[in-house]
Amino acid sequence: MTIAEWHDAAIGGRVIEALKKNGFEAVYFPRRDEAAQYVLDFVVPGMSVGLGGSATIKELGIPDQAREKGAEILDHGQPDLSPEEKQSVRRRELVCDLFLSSTNAVTLDGCLVNVDGNGNRVAALSFGPKKVIVVAGVNKVCSDIDAAYERIRTYAGPMNNKRLGIPNPCATAGVCMDCSGKGRICCIYSVLKKRPMSTDFTVVLVGGSLGY
Protein backbone atom coordinates (compact mmCIF):
# COMPACT_ATOMS: atom_id res chain seq x y z
CA MET A 1 0.00 0.00 0.00
CA THR A 2 1.37 3.40 -0.96
CA ILE A 3 1.20 6.42 1.34
CA ALA A 4 -1.48 7.93 -0.89
CA GLU A 5 -3.56 4.74 -0.71
CA TRP A 6 -3.19 4.68 3.07
CA HIS A 7 -4.35 8.28 3.33
CA ASP A 8 -7.34 7.69 1.04
CA ALA A 9 -8.38 4.68 3.13
CA ALA A 10 -7.94 6.56 6.40
CA ILE A 11 -9.99 9.53 5.26
CA GLY A 12 -12.47 7.30 3.48
CA GLY A 13 -13.04 5.19 6.58
CA ARG A 14 -13.67 8.26 8.70
CA VAL A 15 -16.20 9.67 6.24
CA ILE A 16 -17.96 6.32 5.87
CA GLU A 17 -18.51 6.09 9.62
CA ALA A 18 -19.84 9.66 9.69
CA LEU A 19 -22.23 8.93 6.80
CA LYS A 20 -23.54 5.84 8.58
CA LYS A 21 -24.18 7.87 11.74
CA ASN A 22 -26.22 10.22 9.55
CA GLY A 23 -28.38 7.35 8.35
CA PHE A 24 -26.82 6.67 4.95
CA GLU A 25 -25.67 3.29 3.77
CA ALA A 26 -22.01 3.86 2.98
CA VAL A 27 -19.08 1.82 1.63
CA TYR A 28 -15.48 2.51 0.67
CA PHE A 29 -13.55 0.89 -2.17
CA PRO A 30 -9.87 1.55 -2.85
CA ARG A 31 -10.24 0.71 -6.55
CA ARG A 32 -12.51 2.09 -9.26
CA ASP A 33 -13.42 -1.28 -10.74
CA GLU A 34 -14.62 -2.53 -7.35
CA ALA A 35 -16.81 0.54 -6.89
CA ALA A 36 -18.26 0.25 -10.39
CA GLN A 37 -19.10 -3.42 -9.91
CA TYR A 38 -20.77 -2.68 -6.57
CA VAL A 39 -23.07 -0.17 -8.28
CA LEU A 40 -23.75 -2.46 -11.24
CA ASP A 41 -24.87 -5.22 -8.89
CA PHE A 42 -27.97 -3.11 -8.19
CA VAL A 43 -28.88 -3.01 -11.90
CA VAL A 44 -31.40 -5.53 -13.22
CA PRO A 45 -32.86 -5.90 -16.73
CA GLY A 46 -35.76 -3.60 -17.50
CA MET A 47 -35.19 -1.12 -14.67
CA SER A 48 -34.94 2.61 -15.35
CA VAL A 49 -31.59 4.16 -14.38
CA GLY A 50 -31.41 7.93 -14.16
CA LEU A 51 -28.15 9.83 -14.42
CA GLY A 52 -27.51 13.05 -12.55
CA GLY A 53 -25.20 14.54 -15.15
CA SER A 54 -22.24 13.05 -13.30
CA ALA A 55 -18.74 12.98 -14.78
CA THR A 56 -17.81 10.47 -12.06
CA ILE A 57 -20.47 7.94 -13.06
CA LYS A 58 -19.48 8.19 -16.72
CA GLU A 59 -15.78 8.03 -15.88
CA LEU A 60 -16.41 4.67 -14.23
CA GLY A 61 -18.16 3.40 -17.37
CA ILE A 62 -21.33 2.57 -15.45
CA PRO A 63 -23.97 3.82 -17.95
CA ASP A 64 -22.75 1.66 -20.82
CA GLN A 65 -22.40 -1.40 -18.61
CA ALA A 66 -25.85 -0.84 -17.11
CA ARG A 67 -27.29 -0.59 -20.62
CA GLU A 68 -25.58 -3.87 -21.51
CA LYS A 69 -27.32 -5.46 -18.52
CA GLY A 70 -30.67 -4.47 -20.02
CA ALA A 71 -31.45 -1.31 -18.08
CA GLU A 72 -33.16 1.71 -19.61
CA ILE A 73 -30.75 4.64 -19.26
CA LEU A 74 -32.27 8.06 -18.67
CA ASP A 75 -29.66 10.65 -19.56
CA HIS A 76 -30.77 14.24 -20.12
CA GLY A 77 -27.22 15.08 -21.22
CA GLN A 78 -27.45 13.29 -24.55
CA PRO A 79 -26.40 15.78 -27.24
CA ASP A 80 -29.16 14.89 -29.72
CA LEU A 81 -32.04 15.83 -27.39
CA SER A 82 -34.13 18.93 -27.92
CA PRO A 83 -34.72 21.24 -24.92
CA GLU A 84 -38.21 19.77 -24.55
CA GLU A 85 -36.85 16.23 -24.65
CA LYS A 86 -34.21 17.09 -22.05
CA GLN A 87 -36.91 18.33 -19.70
CA SER A 88 -38.96 15.19 -20.27
CA VAL A 89 -35.97 12.99 -19.39
CA ARG A 90 -35.22 15.10 -16.29
CA ARG A 91 -38.78 14.52 -15.07
CA ARG A 92 -38.50 10.78 -15.65
CA GLU A 93 -35.22 10.71 -13.72
CA LEU A 94 -37.11 11.99 -10.67
CA VAL A 95 -39.16 8.79 -10.44
CA CYS A 96 -36.71 6.24 -11.84
CA ASP A 97 -35.89 2.89 -10.27
CA LEU A 98 -32.24 3.76 -9.67
CA PHE A 99 -30.74 7.24 -9.66
CA LEU A 100 -26.95 7.50 -10.02
CA SER A 101 -25.07 10.68 -9.24
CA SER A 102 -21.99 12.07 -7.63
CA THR A 103 -21.82 14.96 -5.21
CA ASN A 104 -19.94 18.24 -5.38
CA ALA A 105 -18.49 17.65 -1.93
CA VAL A 106 -18.78 15.36 1.09
CA THR A 107 -17.72 16.54 4.53
CA LEU A 108 -15.77 14.73 7.21
CA ASP A 109 -18.89 14.70 9.38
CA GLY A 110 -20.92 12.98 6.66
CA CYS A 111 -22.87 15.70 4.84
CA LEU A 112 -23.40 15.84 1.08
CA VAL A 113 -23.10 19.34 -0.37
CA ASN A 114 -24.32 20.21 -3.86
CA VAL A 115 -25.02 23.18 -6.09
CA ASP A 116 -27.37 22.76 -9.05
CA GLY A 117 -28.66 24.78 -11.96
CA ASN A 118 -32.08 23.32 -12.77
CA GLY A 119 -32.52 21.53 -9.46
CA ASN A 120 -33.33 18.16 -10.98
CA ARG A 121 -30.23 16.51 -9.50
CA VAL A 122 -30.68 17.79 -5.95
CA ALA A 123 -34.41 17.06 -6.17
CA ALA A 124 -33.77 13.42 -7.11
CA LEU A 125 -31.16 13.11 -4.37
CA SER A 126 -33.81 14.22 -1.87
CA PHE A 127 -36.94 12.34 -2.94
CA GLY A 128 -38.44 10.37 -5.81
CA PRO A 129 -36.29 7.51 -7.13
CA LYS A 130 -36.71 4.08 -5.57
CA LYS A 131 -32.97 3.87 -4.96
CA VAL A 132 -30.23 6.53 -4.95
CA ILE A 133 -26.51 5.80 -5.19
CA VAL A 134 -23.97 8.60 -4.92
CA VAL A 135 -20.40 7.81 -5.97
CA ALA A 136 -17.50 10.12 -5.11
CA GLY A 137 -13.73 10.02 -5.09
CA VAL A 138 -11.95 11.04 -1.90
CA ASN A 139 -10.82 14.16 -3.76
CA LYS A 140 -14.28 15.53 -2.91
CA VAL A 141 -13.86 15.18 0.85
CA CYS A 142 -13.84 18.54 2.65
CA SER A 143 -13.35 19.42 6.30
CA ASP A 144 -16.76 21.05 6.76
CA ILE A 145 -19.65 22.69 4.90
CA ASP A 146 -17.82 26.02 4.51
CA ALA A 147 -14.87 24.22 2.92
CA ALA A 148 -17.32 22.31 0.69
CA TYR A 149 -18.78 25.55 -0.65
CA GLU A 150 -15.29 26.91 -1.16
CA ARG A 151 -14.43 23.79 -3.18
CA ILE A 152 -17.50 24.37 -5.33
CA ARG A 153 -16.68 28.05 -5.78
CA THR A 154 -13.02 27.61 -6.69
CA TYR A 155 -13.00 24.23 -8.44
CA ALA A 156 -16.18 22.23 -9.08
CA GLY A 157 -18.26 25.12 -10.42
CA PRO A 158 -15.68 26.47 -12.88
CA MET A 159 -14.64 22.99 -14.00
CA ASN A 160 -18.22 21.91 -14.68
CA ASN A 161 -18.94 25.12 -16.58
CA LYS A 162 -15.88 24.41 -18.74
CA ARG A 163 -16.89 20.76 -19.19
CA LEU A 164 -20.38 21.73 -20.29
CA GLY A 165 -19.15 24.52 -22.55
CA ILE A 166 -21.24 27.19 -20.81
CA PRO A 167 -19.74 30.68 -21.24
CA ASN A 168 -20.23 31.87 -17.67
CA PRO A 169 -17.52 34.16 -16.19
CA CYS A 170 -16.04 31.37 -14.05
CA ALA A 171 -15.16 29.45 -17.22
CA THR A 172 -12.72 32.26 -17.95
CA ALA A 173 -11.69 33.39 -14.46
CA GLY A 174 -11.34 29.88 -13.00
CA VAL A 175 -13.29 30.82 -9.87
CA CYS A 176 -16.91 31.73 -9.17
CA MET A 177 -17.79 35.32 -10.06
CA ASP A 178 -21.32 35.09 -8.61
CA CYS A 179 -22.76 35.84 -12.03
CA SER A 180 -26.38 36.63 -12.86
CA GLY A 181 -26.55 35.26 -16.39
CA LYS A 182 -29.33 33.03 -17.72
CA GLY A 183 -26.85 30.18 -18.07
CA ARG A 184 -25.74 30.22 -14.41
CA ILE A 185 -25.49 26.63 -13.17
CA CYS A 186 -25.20 27.51 -9.47
CA CYS A 187 -28.81 28.36 -8.60
CA ILE A 188 -29.88 25.83 -5.96
CA TYR A 189 -27.75 25.08 -2.89
CA SER A 190 -28.36 21.80 -1.07
CA VAL A 191 -26.95 20.17 2.06
CA LEU A 192 -28.00 16.65 2.99
CA LYS A 193 -27.07 16.52 6.68
CA LYS A 194 -28.96 13.27 7.21
CA ARG A 195 -30.40 10.61 4.90
CA PRO A 196 -33.72 11.81 3.46
CA MET A 197 -36.44 10.02 5.42
CA SER A 198 -38.13 8.22 2.53
CA THR A 199 -35.12 7.51 0.32
CA ASP A 200 -33.09 4.30 0.06
CA PHE A 201 -29.69 5.99 -0.18
CA THR A 202 -26.16 4.60 -0.51
CA VAL A 203 -22.92 6.56 -0.73
CA VAL A 204 -19.94 4.89 -2.40
CA LEU A 205 -16.59 6.50 -1.64
CA VAL A 206 -13.67 5.58 -3.90
CA GLY A 207 -9.92 5.93 -3.42
CA GLY A 208 -8.22 8.43 -5.72
CA SER A 209 -9.62 11.28 -7.75
CA LEU A 210 -12.87 11.10 -9.72
CA GLY A 211 -14.89 13.77 -11.48
CA TYR A 212 -15.00 17.42 -10.54
pLDDT block averages, 10 residues each, the chain of length 212: 96 98 98 98 98 94 97 94 95 98 98 95 97 98 98 93 91 93 91 97 97 94
CB 53, CB 76: distance < 8 Å: yes
Determine the pLDDT at residue 182.
86
| Structural domains of the chain ordered from first start | 3-141+189-206 (3.40.50.10420)
Q: Which amino acid is at 80?
A: D
Determine the pLDDT at residue 183.
87
List, in sequence order, every residue forming a beta bridge with 200; answer none if it has no partner: 131
**In terms of DSSP bridges, do strands 105-107 and 112-116 run parallel, antiparallel, or are they unpaired?**
antiparallel
Q: Which helix (H) or strand (E) holds 172?
A: helix 170-173
Cα 106 from chain centre? 10
List, in sequence order, every residue forming a beta bridge with 141; answer none if it has no partner: 106
Q: How far apart are CA 19 and CA 102, in angstroms?
A: 15
Determine the pLDDT at residue 175.
95
Residue 183 is classified by DSSP as T
Determine the pLDDT at residue 16.
98
Q: How far apart are CA 110 and CA 24, in angstroms?
A: 9
191 SS3 class: strand
Q: How far apart are CA 134 and CA 183, in angstroms?
A: 25
Q: What is the arrangement of strands in the sheet containing 25-29, beginning at the earlier edge strand?
A: 25-29, 200-206, 131-137, 98-101, 48-51, 72-74
Determine the pLDDT at residue 73.
97
